[in-house]
Structures are given as C-alpha cells and as structure tokens.
Structure 1
C-alpha cells in the first residue's frame, strides 16, 4: 500500500483545521479516545469483574496500558507512534460484557448469523456501529478511520475458517474489510498490528498476574514447592497459549521461578512497600519482553524506520514462552479460582436470557441506535446480528440491568457477579 492509500478514509472528508499540523493518525487516535465505545470499556471485565476492586484493571485501563506499551515499542522500531497508539486503544472495543466468558456465550448464540468474535466485532464498531461519520448514502461509516489505522487493529485479518477460533471479519463486513486490506499480503498482519498484539500479550500476562497477587488470588509458592503443580500449569499453557511442549515449558518455568524479578511476588501483604516492589517487578518484566522483541527485530532488519509491511516483529521463542507461562498462571489461579464456575454460569444465563428477550421484543426492546438497523435488516440472520451488536455494546452492569428489566427477574443474589 502506498502512503496515500494508508491515510485514505473510506468516506472522503473535507480538510479540517488547516494549519493545525495534526496528522491523519493523530485524528484517528483522537476519534477512538473520544468514542462512546471506548468509554464503555471502563465498566467491562478484563479478568476480574469490573467494579469489584478499585486496584484491578478493566478493559479501559488495560487498553490504555496496551496503547502506551505499543507506542513506545513502535517508536523504537520507527513506526508512526500515533498509528500504533490508535491500534492499542482500539483493539478491545468489540469485547462484550463479562470478558472472554461473554465472548464465548455470544459466539454460541450468534451461530445463525456467523458467530461472534471480539476482534471481528471491533472492526464492526470502528466501521459501522460507532457514531461519527455518515456516508453519502446515509449509512454509518463508524469512526471512518484511515486505512492504515484499521489495518493496524486487525489482529486476525481473515474470515472465520473451520478449526480456527480467532477471526477478524463477519461475512456482512467483507466490503470494508476488502477495502482496508486492498494490496496487503493475504493473512499477513502489518507491523503495527504485530506490535499491538505483542503489547497486548505483554500487558495481559504481566498485569493479570499483578492483579492476581494484589487480590490475593494467587501465590507462587505451590509452583515452587510442587513438581506436579508445575506440570499441571505447563499442560494448561501448552493447551491454551503456547506451541511449546509441556516438557520444554517446564524447564522455562523453573528458570522463571528462579528469577529474582519474581521475588517481590512472594509474601505480598498489600503494604506501600509491597506494592512498590510488585510494581517494580511488573515494570522489569514488561521492559524485558518489549526489549527482546525490539532487539531481535532490529537484528534482522537493521536500524532504519520499519513500517507497515517492511518487516515482521520477531519475538524470541523463550521470551514468548515465558509470557505464555505468566498468562497460564493467571488462567489457572485467577480465572479458574474456586467459585468461578458458578459466576461464569450466571453470566452465561444473563446474556442468553437477554438475547432471547431482545429477539422476542425487537425492535421495541432495542435502543434508538439499533432499532432502525433491526427494521432495515433483510432477514432473520441480519436481525439477530443487530441484537448481538446491541448486547455486545453493553457494559457489565448494564447487561445485568437490561436482563432484569426485560425478563422481570430481579438482579438479586442469584445474579451477583462477584
């Protein structure tokens, strides 16, 4: 793609703020930052249910952290910093209430219209659902970001395929997807998307462990003391997060547990000194993971600016595996902690009941943004997609409230999410 194509918007816009010096990518970043979808991330679950602890991260704080890590990593590689920053801010806009549990629930409910995937939903939010620009035909163009910005958010630039859990576009969004990917190599992600994706992995792995330590949900002592527990963790990681074998992960886990950087995670008591030590550990790990990727990529491609399809981000295998091990620690001891199954079942029941109630009562049950889209939909599958869009847009508390209002069931103890 040429630079002219990179900054093109699908709906042409007249020049703005002549002489301001703002670049197209700075405008993209501002549009995401000021969007309603971005604000809603403040009340959407990251790992812990949003609102249960002022220390713990939400999708909003996670997205801000991903954007900061991506911006600095991208700048060290010569990427446009505002472009990678925009991708980091926008990457989770499509995630529904209740985190990955909500995503799995909506995927099952949305099978008649092509399923649900948070990254495909992000594209839909950016190009259709968010209110900013209306095209000449009266249809919404979403935030009408530049082609490069949309491409940088595309973690999975392909449609749903058999056997693949992750994908980046629904069938009825193919026209805008084909437009933004025109000239790009099939299935290959641009460098900015790869930088954003690694920043997401780093933030997710390090910060979820930090939150788990602070919340009292996990301790490293069982892993240090029990070889069977280490083997079980490595089996989890090999099944979910890594292509490394469980045996290879076991050796890397021992190295990680012996690293002095993790020492402040033991005996954490929540004091100011303990919080400072914990933050120091997370900062060192983040810098280590980012620096390893920058160094490896520079060693392969040299010192010049790297952008778009000039290069691929190279992450050394052991570093990627250590990141996966940290994600596995959060998975095993936080997301699967005692009581989680019941909480996830309640969340599943809320979203399932809400979708059924909205389908039964639409369009009157939909808000003023989605009701006209439901009326204009050509068939039942398209109408279901509108309902799924409505539910995915809700925050965690709003999903509970809407469910109670539409089903007549009080959000009492049987639907307490914490």
Structure 2
C-alpha cells in the first residue's frame, strides 16, 4: 500500500476530518480538474453538441468509471483506483475525437507524434494545475491504472502510452511492476470497461440516430459476412468465419432482435435501453466470472491477477465495434465536416508554431519559452491545441486563421 500511495512530488499529510484515503483524493482531483470538465464538449463519435442524445467524452468517461468501479469491486480491486482510471482514461483526447487524434499525430511527427493515451499521462502528470511540475500528482497506483498502453512508441505499433519527454515520470509510475509491458489488473479492468462502454453505447447511439439498422443484418447473409470482415480487420485477431458464429448468436438474442425495426418511439427506446443494459451486464459478468474461476474469489489487485475475458464475449464486442465502424464512423468520415476538422487542427498548429508564445494560454506560454529546442516548442503547441474543446478549436481557428486570412 505504501508504494502504491506514493506521489511523484511528496505532499504533507492532510487531515481534513473526512478520513479520505489517498485514492479517494485522486478521484476528487480528476473530477474537479479542468481537463475533465472539457470532456463535456469533446467528440466521442458524433460531434459534441450536434444532438441531445449521443454521448460525449464526458458521459462516456462517467460510464466507463461506473462499469470499472463495479467490475473492480467484484474482483477485490480498490474501487477508487479503478474509478479514477475510468474517469481519467480519455483526458488526453483532443478535439474531434479520433479524427482529431490522427490530424495531430501527422503534424506532431517532429516531436514524437501524438497519441491520446500518451497525452492522458502527460495531462495527469505534467499539465493539469494542481502541483507545479506534477499535474494532479496522483498516486502511483492511480497513474498506473490509467496507463492503457504502458510502453513508448515503437515501429509498427499505432498505440502507445508515453512520450519520450515523459519517460522519467513513467519510469516512476512503473516502479515495482513486473518486467515487460504487463498492465496492472486495474488498467485491464478499465480497458475492458472502455471496450464494453463504447462498443455497446456507440451502437445504441447509432441505432437511435438512424445510422445503424439491424434488419439488413438479420435478412442478408452477404451483409453479415461484410460486417465480420470489417470486425476481423479492425478489432479482432479472429478470422472472419470465427466471428460469423458469434454474430449469429448475437443476432439471435431476443434483446437484440427487439430493436431490429427501431422507430424511435417510447416502446422502441425502452427496448433499446434494455439491449444496452443486458449486453453491458453480460460482458462484465463474463469477465468477472472467468477471472474468479481462474484466481478464486479472494480479493485480487495490482499484479496479483490478469483479467480473463471469454473468447466468445470478445468476439461479440468486436462485432459491435465493427457495426459502429461500418455504419457510423465511415458514414461520418465521408462528410465534408470530417475533412474540415483535420484542416482546422492542422492550421491551428501551423499558425501557433509561427506566432507563439503570443497567442498561447498563460499556462502554456511559459512552457514554450522554457523549451530547449524546436521539437520541445512544438510539443507545447500540440499540448495547447489538444487541450481545446471542439467549439474552442473552431473559435480559435476563426480568430487566428480564418479572420486573419
């Protein structure tokens, strides 16, 4: 417990009369952070503010935290540590979701690229305003639980969890972890909760928004085969034919068939919510059951166990992700607004690189002035742009680029 509760910058003991644990304090720090509030207007799949129904990064993070806390508590993890990981896991995501992430990665190549998960560590341990030079100064356990990909960028890998610039604090976070890239149990719980939340919920949002229709999947074998191919290519190591059986099982479920002809009415919305609840509960319970079958029912945490998710459940989760990809993301990516989003972020980075530190926020301007070289200054500009909300990015672009042009 002592090493897990350590902080990068030691803090004096606090006695506010509440008797809070270090991990409860971590949770409060994330909830009260500016980065967490900004998630309210950052894109999940649909552009934030474009409709009242779809999730934003904030509502998604709250849902991941709830699923993480419930699943972790059933396994014996400290509930606040897994809660913190769920709340914090997307703090590094930039405006416009994964579309914005790709745009920033392209322009950030001279300073090591951009990745939302690596940015999350940077926000938590460097950028948030709580302790100078240490961000929120969370405990080692909470930071480790928030590291979905505990390794630096490597050739041939798209996902990574730390920039070279943050290697020192990352090494401190990982002190005591087994050799290699093994994730702690709490990070695995958060990662599966994230998979469950965005696979099930993105399909729910897609059905409600009219992007996802299940009737063609029920009626057309060719469409089912195409979906399996998409899921196999993007989200699963399973071959297409292995996913086909899992899809048949999923589509045969009465809660899924009940929304095949969704019309947006009250009864249809109730059926849709029931599908979401049943699938989420099933995916969580299967992981808890398989893990306790392997390790027993005694509480486990940190590196005492690995989360076990049954193969069939992983396949069904991948298929739901495939639905969101095939019917929602590709449809949205074809829209002119998606191209415009990338242009906005690219041009913002370009203009701020030329005109910094004058137009940087007061917290970023001193970091830019203290940077040792062009790559470090570019990283500060990327930090600034990544911190913006969707609406903020559009407003900054209008002021600095469009109006100036």
Whole-Å separation in 2 of the counterparts to 1:293 and 1:202:
11
Counterpart of 1:356 in structure 2 is 350
Counterpart of 2:110 in structure 1 is 112
How do 1:205-244 residues align onto structure 2 when only pairs under 5 Å count?
Answer: 205-244=199-238
Whole-Å separation in 2 of the counterparts to 1:19 and 1:345:
53
Counterpart of 2:80 in structure 1 is 82
5+ residue gaps in structure 2? none
Shift of 1:250: 1.4
Counterpart of 1:415 in structure 2 is none
Whole-Å separation in 1 of the counterparts to 2:292 and 2:395:
50
Paired residues in the alignment total 404
Matched, 1:171 2:169: no
* Change in 2 beyond 3 A, CA 1:406/1:18: closer
Whole-Å separation in 1 of the counterparts to 2:218 and 2:16:
61
Residue 360 of structure 2: which of 337, 362, 366 is its match?
366
Residue 143 of structure 2: which of 150, 153, 157 is its match?
150
Report if aligned partners of 2:214, 2:261 keep a CA contact under 8 Å in 1.
Answer: no
TM-score (norm 2): 0.98
* Change in 2 beyond 3 A, CA 1:73/1:375: same
Residue 374 of structure 2: which of 359, 374, 380 is its match?
380
Whole-Å separation in 1 of the counterparts to 2:257 and 2:210:
16
- Determine helix, strand or coil for the equivalent of 1:4: coil
Whole-Å separation in 2 of the counterparts to 1:339 and 1:178:
38
Counterpart of 1:290 in structure 2 is 284
TM-score (norm 1): 0.95
Shift of 1:270: 1.7
Counterpart of 1:405 in structure 2 is 399
How do 1:238-317 residues align onto structure 2 when only pairs under 5 Å count?
Answer: 238-317=232-311
Which stretch shows the higher mean deviation, 217-226 or 79-88? 217-226
Shift of 1:200: 0.2
Residue by residue over 1:160-197, the C-alpha shift from the partner in whole angstroms, topping out at 9 and shown as x without a partner, is 00111000000010000000101102200000000000
Counterpart of 1:137 in structure 2 is none
Residue by residue over 1:382-405, the C-alpha shift from the partner in whole angstroms, topping out at 9 and shown as x without a partner, is 000000000000000100110111
- Determine helix, strand or coil for the equivalent of 1:353: helix
How do 1:56-71 residues align onto structure 2 when only pairs under 5 Å count?
Answer: 56-71=54-69
CA RMSD of superposed structures (Å): 1.3
Matched, 1:10 2:8: yes
Shift of 1:343: 2.3
Shift of 1:19: 4.0
Residue by residue over 1:296-323, the C-alpha shift from the partner in whole angstroms, topping out at 9 and shown as x without a partner, is 0000000100100000000001100100
5+ residue gaps in structure 1? 135-139, 412-418
Whole-Å separation in 1 of the counterparts to 2:84 and 2:332:
37
Whole-Å separation in 2 of the counterparts to 1:71 and 1:48:
26
Shift of 1:224: 1.5
Which stretch shows the higher mean deviation, 218-227 or 308-317? 218-227
* Change in 2 beyond 3 A, CA 1:295/1:394: same
Shift of 1:129: 0.5
Residue 92 of structure 2: which of 91, 94, 101 is its match?
94
Shift of 1:18: 4.7
Counterpart of 1:181 in structure 2 is 174
Residue by residue over 1:331-357, the C-alpha shift from the partner in whole angstroms, topping out at 9 and shown as x without a partner, is 110111166342221111111111101
Whole-Å separation in 2 of the counterparts to 1:141 and 1:83:
19
Shift of 1:410: 9.4
Report if aligned partners of 2:332, 2:338 keep a CA contact under 8 Å in 1.
Answer: no
Counterpart of 1:416 in structure 2 is none
Residue by residue over 1:101-127, the C-alpha shift from the partner in whole angstroms, topping out at 9 and shown as x without a partner, is 100111111000000000000000000
Whole-Å separation in 1 of the counterparts to 2:285 and 2:331:
32
How do 1:187-198 residues align onto structure 2 when only pairs under 5 Å count?
Answer: 187-198=181-192
